Amino acid sequence: MSERLQPGDVAPAFTLPDADGNEVSLADHKGRKVIVYFYPAALTPGCTKQACDFTDNLDLLTGAGYDVIGISPDKPEKLAKFREKENLKVTLLADPDKKVLDAYAAFGEKKNYGKTYMGVIRSTIIVDESGKVEHALYNVRATGHVAKIIKDLGV
């Protein structure tokens, strides 16, 4: 597992397929701030709530200069179903090999009900216009997280 990112670190570059199979790179967003959030699985209650919260606030965030990208280990086909079912507007990227999840320290050891296992650590990394980490938030809650980001960013 990679070291957790810190403000000032260079955000690891990535290129991943979106829900339609098109390649999307972090570099495509150079000159804009990017909220990259990592979530465990499409079509699950917490992840649906979080994705809907980002979608509901997307106009506010993009208007303030932020693009939003959600990354999970799901395959593009599942992301397409997730997007259609929930009417999501955020960009969803597939990382089935977990290479980007690992590079961002968003995959690792988790504990739940006394069991330890490997899984996606719900995380949000905010990248500035030059590709540097502005905020690195790990073990975030699905509910209320988007409202907290908006408040913390002063949007």
Would you name the residues annotated as active-site residues? 47
| Closest by CA position to 11, among listed 106, 76, 79, 90 | 106
> Beta 123-127 vs 133-138: how paired, if at all?
antiparallel
**Position of tokens 């650590």?**
121
- What single string gives the DSSP state of each residue in 20-73? TS-EEEGGGGTTSEEEEEE-S-TTSHHHHHHHHHHHHTHHHHHHTTEEEEEEES
